[in-house]
Amino acid sequence: MERDTHFILGVYEDEDVLLHAVKEVRTSGVKIHEVYSPYPVHGLEHVLGYKRSRLPIAAFLFGMLGTTLALTMQFYMMRFDWPMIIGGKDFAAFPDFIPVTFELTVLLAAFGMVGVFMISSNLKPWAQPRIFDVRSTDDKHIMAIDIANNGALEIEKIKEILKSSGATEINNKSFEE
Amino acid sequence: MAHDVQHYNLDQKFDFRAGTKKAIMTVLGIGAALLVLGIILAMTGGGHHEEGAEAAGHAFHWYERLYANLWINNVYFTGISIVGVFFFAIQYAAQAGWSAPITRVMLSLGNWLPIAFVLMIVTFFVANHDLFHWTHSYLFDKSSPEYDSIIDGKGAFFYWPMEKGSFPIFYIARMIIFFGFWVFFFKKFQKISAQEDQLGGNSHWFKMRSWSAYFLVFFAVSSSISAWDWVMSIDTHWFSTLFGWYVFASWFVAGLSAMTLLTIFLRGQGYLEMVNENHIHDLGKFVFGFSIFWTYLWFSQFLLIYYANIPEETVYFIERLESDIYGGFIFVNILMNFVLPFLVLMTRDAKRHGIFLKVVCTLLIVGHWVDFFLMVQPGTLGHNGGLGLMEVGMLLVYGSSMALVVLSSLAKGNLVPKNHPMLEESYHHHI
């Protein structure tokens, strides 16, 4: 499937200018696709209006999975599959199971979180990343605006808004995927 | 960067209103009434217990339960109090900025220390034989049929340099030294903090950091040894190498809960305006994290004893788990101090909103009292103990007395250290 996407890019030099620009651009009705910056900008996700990550929920669920898995596994092994007397304890000696349960809970929560994060951020090894502007890995902040998402607004109007918000450069970028 | 200092009234003093005072006095009154009622019940009733005890060669007296209760609360509230000073010192040693406006709240808990010292030493001298088995001199007398070679081996820890079985001078000296230094450091911190208000500048902060470091070194040793002295020596034969940490963890969670409750209370009264949900969030994280730390230590102690299955170690848990009186409390203890705070405080919102923290911190303060109840009563009272009117009454009396002392000390000075060099950083604290 071939699909063309066209973006307008605003290039910003300074993070304070960027933070104000994001607010300005959003209040003037332009939908921002994404902002790329060389380092984490404190408060950027807040002005972009991103919802809080749901990753903790995934972590909790994977942790619960780990707990359940560990307890069932040990209980099955020690009570039914191959019962052994260890230290004169019951076959199903619950306190003995806790360390393994703890470890598996942590392991699955951590792995699950990493996995969910990779999937949700499209970090698969064969993914073709969209490079908007290589300078976003060096010293420039890049604000990308998807033209298709801003159908009602004139392209010239968007560029004007970007310019007045403090962008030092305004570029076009298209991807053919 | 804009300076937000001028937005806040930094000279605010806590006004200990008559209404608040009256409410605390009411709790104190209820506690005292329950206590008296409990004593009367214990004096007149409890006959069925006594028969069994007399058969075993030791008559049980109602006042033994009173002493055990006094001891639980002496140790517990001393802990909450010294943890306030400890957490204050941590802020300076770690050069923390976020906590600057609430450092006085932490330090205020230390005001209970001198009273705790008097109560503890008096209780020890009144109740020594009823609380501590090792205070009996016949245990060290080789010609006596009651001679106990294990306790004799440990005797020097209490009696050195005097003869074993006489006056426990080493034990008493440690108590005096620990309390003495704790109070000394507490007063020192108070003094430097007050000077900073007067004179300003950064030099007081540096001075405080040095004194905090000295205190932390002293506290690291003294907290552990005081736990052996005041709690572990009740079960004289038994020992656990991580007992000091375990008691400290219990103290720390209870102290953090007290600080959090106090901060939320003061905020609710319109003080500490600069403390917002970000600061509360941090306190909540401490309560959450150290609840898990306590559980970790509790379980580490339990699992190794359970797994190794050595009789002289397992006796500690046999006494508790197999008992009709204390068996259930082990599970109440885990439920209140681990399961509840773990599940309730897990989400971010629960740590940022006062209402969840109020509930959880109140439960934790009761929960860790139960923890100390479980450490002290089985070894002192055995099957004559239990959770009754006397226990509830004594907890209320101690709790409300400490609240009175702490709040009236807060009313004396400024609530916020207005010349703290990191106040500005604290205003911008955002997580």
SS (H, E, C) A80-117: HHCCCCCCCCCCCCHHHHHHHHHHHHHHHHHHHHHHHH
Q: Given A56, A88, A95, which is nearest B303 (Cβ)?
A: A95
Angle of CA points B251, B253, B254, to nearest 5° = 65
A160 shares a domain with A111: no
Q: Residue A149: its pLDDT value, please?
A: 85
Q: Residue B336: its pLDDT value, please?
A: 96
Decide if B302 and A95 are in contact by the 8 Å CB cutoff.
yes
**Residue in chain A lying closest to B305 (CA):** A95
Mean pLDDT of B410-419: 92
The rounded distance, in Å, linking the Cα atoms of B90 and B250 is: 17
pLDDT at B59 over 90: no
For residue B302, list chain A residues with Cβ-Cβ distance below 8 A. 95
Q: With the C-alpha atoms ordered B152, B157, B159, B163, is the resulting torsion angle positive or negative?
A: positive
Structural contact between residues B346 and A60, judged by C-beta atoms closer than 8 angstroms: yes
Q: Given A56, A87, A98, which is nearest B309 (Cβ)?
A: A87
Of B325, B405, B295, B411, the residue nearest B46 (C-alpha): B325
Range picked from A71-75, A83-87, A143-147 for highest mean pLDDT: A71-75
Residue A125, in any domain of the structure: no
Give the phi and the psi of residue B50 in degrees, each rounded to 5.
-65, -35
Structure confidence by residue, pLDDT tens digits, B294-351 = 999 999 999 999 999 999 999 999 999 999 999 999 999 999 999 999 999 999 999 9
A70 shares a domain with A36: no
Minimum mean pLDDT range among A49-58, B2-11, B118-127, B175-184: B2-11
Cβ neighbours of residue B88 closer than 8 Å, sequence gap 6 or more = B103, B106, B107, B110, B189, B212
- Number of domains observed in the structure of chain A: 2
Q: Residue B1: its pLDDT value, please?
A: 43
Return the CATH number at A160: 3.30.70
Q: With the C-alpha atoms ordered B86, B87, B88, B89, is the resulting torsion angle positive or negative?
A: positive
Structural contact between residues A165 and A29, judged by C-beta atoms closer than 8 angstroms: no
Chain B nearest-CA distance from A87, in A, is 7
pLDDT at B55 over 90: no
Structure confidence by residue, pLDDT tens digits, A124-177 = 888 888 889 999 999 999 999 988 888 777 888 899 999 999 999 999 988 876
The rounded distance, in Å, linking the Cα atoms of A164 and A171 is: 15
Structure confidence by residue, pLDDT tens digits, B182-218 = 999 999 999 999 999 999 899 999 999 999 999 999 9
The rounded distance, in Å, linking the Cα atoms of B280 and B64 is: 42
The rounded distance, in Å, linking the Cα atoms of B236 and B240 is: 11
Domain span including residue A86: 55-120
Chain A nearest-CA distance from B418, in A, is 28
The domain locations on chain B are: 6-132+174-427, 139-167
Q: Residue B9: its pLDDT value, please?
A: 85
Mean pLDDT of B144-149: 92
Confidence of residue B57 (pLDDT cuts 50, 70, 90): low
A62 shares a domain with A88: yes
Q: Residue B5: its pLDDT value, please?
A: 54
For residue B347, list chain A residues with Cβ-Cβ distance below 8 A. 56
Which of B278, B292, B297, B307 best probes binding to A when mutated, by most A CB atoms within 10 angstroms?
B307
Q: Residue B54: its pLDDT value, please?
A: 47
Q: Residue B311: its pLDDT value, please?
A: 92
pLDDT at B46 over 70: no
Q: Residue A87: its pLDDT value, please?
A: 84
- B413 DSSP 8-state letter: S
Helix axes B18-44, B62-93, angle to 10 degrees: 140
Chain A nearest-CA distance from B303, in A, is 7
Chain A nearest-CA distance from B305, in A, is 11
Q: With the C-alpha atoms ordered A63, A67, A68, A73, is the resulting torsion angle positive or negative?
A: positive
Q: Is B349 on the interface with A (CB under 8 A)?
A: no
List A residues 58-87 in contact with B (Cβ-Cβ < 8 A): 60, 87
CA distances from B88 to B161, B185, B188 (A): 36, 11, 12
Q: Given A52, A60, A98, which is nearest B299 (Cβ)?
A: A98
Structure confidence by residue, pLDDT tens digits, B232-259 = 999 999 999 999 999 999 999 999 999 9
Mean pLDDT of B57-79: 90
Residue A127, in any domain of the structure: no
- Produce one character per residue of B103-128: b if its CB has 16 or more CB atoms within 10 Å, e if not: bbbbbbbbbbbbebbebbeebbeebe
Q: Is B237 exposed, middle or buried (0-12, 13-18, 19+ CB in 10 A)?
A: middle
Residue A37, in any domain of the structure: yes
Confidence of residue B362 (pLDDT cuts 50, 70, 90): very high
Mean pLDDT of B382-394: 93
Confidence of residue B6 (pLDDT cuts 50, 70, 90): low
Confidence of residue B58 (pLDDT cuts 50, 70, 90): low
Domain boundary (A73, A92, A120) is at A120
B139-143 own/partner pairs: CB under 8 Å, 24+ apart: B139/B165, B140/B164, B140/B165, B141/B165
Q: Residue A148: its pLDDT value, please?
A: 86
Of B239, B232, B411, the residue nearest B312 (C-alpha): B239
Give the phi and the psi of residue B363 in degrees, each rounded to 5.
-60, -40
The rounded distance, in Å, linking the Cα atoms of B315 and B39 is: 30
For residue B346, list chain A residues with Cβ-Cβ distance below 8 A. 60
**Residue in chain A lying closest to B301 (CA):** A95
Angle of CA points B224, B361, A57, to nearest 5° = 105
More confident residue, B50 or B398: B398
Mean pLDDT of B387-408: 96
Domain boundary (A97, A120, A143) is at A120
Structure confidence by residue, pLDDT tens digits, B81-105 = 999 999 999 999 999 999 999 999 9
Give the strand order in the sheet containing A169-176.
A34-36, A141-146, A4-12, A169-176
